Amino acid sequence: MKKLAVFGCSWTYGVPGVGEKHNKLYDCWPLRFSLQNKDYKVYNFARGGTCVNWSIARLLQFLQTPLAEDCKIVFQVTQPYRFTSNVDACTQGDYNFLQYENYFVDRGTDPITHMPGNISLRKSPEAKLYRSMVKHYPDTYSFIEHEAQIAYLKNICNFVYRHNSINYKILPNLKNKHTKIFGVRETLTKVKWKQYVADAGDHFGPDGLEWIANIVKEKIND
């Protein structure tokens, strides 16, 4: 069978209360892809709320396993300003897959993420570090690093895309060949976007998930 590995945040992992559950697994476009394409084994390494660097670390872990051989890779880039602190714990040990037919979700160590909306909820040293970063780290550096992450990923993955748009307040989005990627929100009309969105976090409902699954199939076969 062919293989597909996917990385990202909740826009790829799924969320409670949106869509249909299959064997207690959240509905998401990788699940929909697996239902559409029975000739694929689909491995979902995304987790909700995580940062881009966390997903890159998971990707590098994956590339050292036999699963990576002859496997298509799709990476959904999430928003900057997130900080998932327990990356070492999440990238050690064996995978813990939950399975539904030809769909596999790794449910290993739960990631701990700090972001602007929840930095006051934790009093750990990592949360203190994150608050300091938010206060003192230049936005310019954050966006430069984000562009560098995209350029790096495009050299490894078969398809790199973003779900939601990013407002480059400091730097222009140069959209050159190294950092230009497919954007779901930029591609859809405002009417279609609103039709697909199912909650306040811009997660897609079933129709939108089917649409992304079809886009991914098209892109990885280009």
Mean pLDDT confidence for 112-137: 72
Q: State pLDDT tens for residues 132-186.
A: 777 777 888 888 888 899 999 999 999 999 999 776 555 555 556 678 899 999 9
Contacts with 18 (C-beta within 8 Å, 6 or more apart), sequence order: 26, 27, 198, 199, 203, 204, 205
Average pLDDT, the chain: 88
Q: Which of 22-26, 101-105, 189-193 shows the lowest per-residue confidence on average (mean pLDDT)?
A: 22-26
Spatial CA neighbour of 152 closest among 101, 77, 217, 46: 77
pTM of the model: 0.91
Distance between CA atoms of residues 128 and 136, nearest Å: 12
Mean pLDDT confidence for 24-41: 96
Residue 180: helix, strand or coil by DSSP? coil
Q: State pLDDT tens for residues 56-96.
A: 999 999 999 999 999 999 999 998 878 787 777 778 888 99
Give yes or no for residue 31 having a pLDDT over 80: yes
Amino acid 93: pLDDT:
82
Percentage helix, strand, coil for the chain under 3-state DSSP, each rounded to 5: 40, 20, 45
Amino acid 177: pLDDT:
67
Residue bearing the bigger pLDDT, 130 or 147: 147
Amino acid 86: pLDDT:
77
CATH of 2-220, one of 3.40.50.1110, 3.40.710.10, 1.10.286.10, 3.20.20.70: 3.40.50.1110
